[in-house]
Amino acid sequence: MKKFLIIANWKLNNTKDNISEFLKYLNIYLLDNNQKNIISIAPSFIYLEKLSREIKYKNFFITAQNVDINLQGAFTGEISVLMLKDIGVQYVILGHSERRILHHENNNIIAKKFSLVKKYHLTPILCIGETEKEKKLNKTYEILKNQINSIFEICGTESFRNTVIAYEPIWAIGTGKSADIEYVQKIHKFIKNYIIQYDHLSLDSLMIQYGGSITSLNAREFLEQMDVDGLLIGTASLQYKEFLKIVKISNNIY
């Protein structure tokens, strides 16, 4: 039986009122329906505790959208992995393309954050993916290898044990144009094979999610692919009805 990791990435969206409504319906659904999958939400930092307080379902984990590269000190405006751990965060998204592009986070910064997250026993979700231009120039594999190699260089060959990679082709994020399903399966297989060359890790200990314009209409086809272990969902996760539809679909795929 396949156990998926389904994460709502709310980015810079949602406020107290609609979060309360969302959590109310999510609670009702999760408590009424046994889940074989791991369900999580990545809200803005300031709502992480609200989620951990209000979600009553035991197999629910909270995800942070980012973390600072420093542990503590004079870094105004930042959030440390110690603080995330303190309030019970389980997963931390790292290297999302919006952070790479808009906040100039390079592979080296992301690898250092990855190392810190692992050191404190939280689970990193490393986002990797190519731009449309890189895809057209047939550079996808090279880009993905570079993004993975920087983790190997800083965190060692066993770095991907008990972690998550989210393959998110940048051209598919928020565009309504998800990647081709066979293409995604091929890339996920490539990522697994590439990592296994360096570390014969058990494939149960590395999950690869797909992200990029997932909706309740296309979620099933992606989850049916052999090497797709979950979904990182942006736009379609903002409304509880659409997110719950995807959660239900994922629960019926074995």
Q: Identify whether 103 is a catalytic site residue.
A: no
Q: With CB under 6 A as the contact rule, which of the stretches 67-75, 80-88, 132-140, 212-220 interacts with ligand PGA?
A: 212-220
Q: Identify whether 121 is a catalytic site residue.
A: no
As measured in angstroms, the least distance from the Cβ of 234 to ligand PGA is 2
Identify residue 63 by its one-letter amino acid code. Answer: T
* DSSP label at residue 90: -
Q: Which helix (H) or strand (E) is 234 found in, with range?
A: none
Residues numbered 149-178 forming contacts with ligand PGA, rule: CB under 6 A? 168, 173-174
CA angle 44, 149, 96 (to 5 degrees): 20
Contact pattern for ligand PGA over residues 6 through 25, marking x by CB under 6 A? ---x----------------
Q: With CB under 6 A as the contact rule, which of the stretches 69-77, 150-158, 193-201, 209-217 interacts with ligand PGA?
A: 209-217
Instruction: Please tell me whether residue 123 adopts helix, strand or coil conformation.
Output: strand
Of 51, 62, 214, 219, the one binding ligand PGA (CB under 6 A) is 214
Phi, psi dihedral angles at 45 (to 5 degrees): -50, -40
As measured in angstroms, the least distance from the Cβ of 236 to ligand PGA is 6
Q: What residue number has its CB nearest to ligand PGA?
A: 234
Q: Which is nearer to ligand PGA, 184 or 201 (CB)?
A: 184
**Alpha-carbon torsion angle 222, 224, 229, 233, nearest 10:** 30
As measured in angstroms, the least distance from the Cβ of 80 to ligand PGA is 23
CA distance 251 to 34: 9
Q: Is the dihedral of CA 216, 54, 173, 127 positive or negative?
A: negative
Q: Counting runs of H as helices and runs of E as strands, what totals does the chain give?
A: 10, 8
Q: Which of 98, 130, 168, 242 is catalytic?
A: 168
The residues binding ligand PGA (CB under 6 A) are: 9, 168, 173-174, 211-214, 232-236
Residue numbers annotated as active site: 96, 168
